[in-house]
Copies of this chain bind each other. A is one copy, B any other.
């Protein structure tokens, strides 16, 4: 396999030059690659946000795209670096849950990166540049990683099954607050359809109770809250032409009750 697109997703910001270093290293080894920035603005160390961001992006990229994801609070500890191969894409990064959604949704083969096989020039604080970008470049060049990885069975994930709290009630959580203040909940449309006890989803959250999932924000008045399926088909609490997170003083991790 030879790839032409490498997409970066990090919590580095850009102002220190760390993201630049990764791109430079990649282009030095694989000059033909089209470098795409997904984001460098993940909140520092926020693995969950990175996983969510990746989930919104990766399904839309061409076959053979290589994703380098570096939100890596454990760099320098014995946490594994991994390579995941799905039928369409390749993912490279630390084994800390950033690939939780990929693993839930795709068939994959997982490999641990053998750090000792990277003979020279691996800093202990910057695997993004010295390990992950290098492997991405080698893959993009069609080089086999056989000497550098070994198969593993398990990949870390932070996704837990939803908790049922009564016959027709489940406990959800605010999973992510996006740029516009929408509250994304940990319920995918496909999973919701499988819940026999939920016919028409509604939620209770703080003082708010909402029933029925709308198709567009414009179906409610300006300033009103509503439920919709977000663009990756997770249930979200939104506010038409407003910021739901501010209006509701919401935080990631808040509990939400699903009923139906």
Contact = CB atoms under 8 A, between A and B. Distances in A.
Given A7-B20, A218-B77, A231 B15 contact: no
Interface string A44-74: 1100010011111111111001000000011
A76 B153 CA distance: 43
Contacts of A9: 20
Contacts of A55: 17
Contacts of A44: 179-180, 243
A189 to B, nearest CB: 11
Interface in A143-193: 176, 178-180
A35 B60 CA distance: 15
Q: How large is the interface on A (under 10, 10 to 19, 20 to 34, 35 or more residues)?
A: 35 or more
Interface in A2-49: 4-5, 7, 9, 11-25, 27-28, 31, 34-45, 49
A53 B179 contact: no
B231 A123 contact: yes
A33 to B, nearest CB: 9
A124 interface: yes
A206 interface: no
A230 interface: yes
A125 B76 contact: no
A58 to B, nearest CB: 7
A147 B31 CA distance: 31
A125 B230 contact: yes
B36 A23 contact: yes
Contact of A179 (B16, B216, B218, B219): B16
Contacts of A126: 231
A5 B27 contact: yes
Interface of A: 4-5, 7, 9, 11-25, 27-28, 31, 34-45, 49, 52-62, 65, 73-78, 123-126, 129, 176, 178-180, 215-219, 228, 230-231, 241, 243
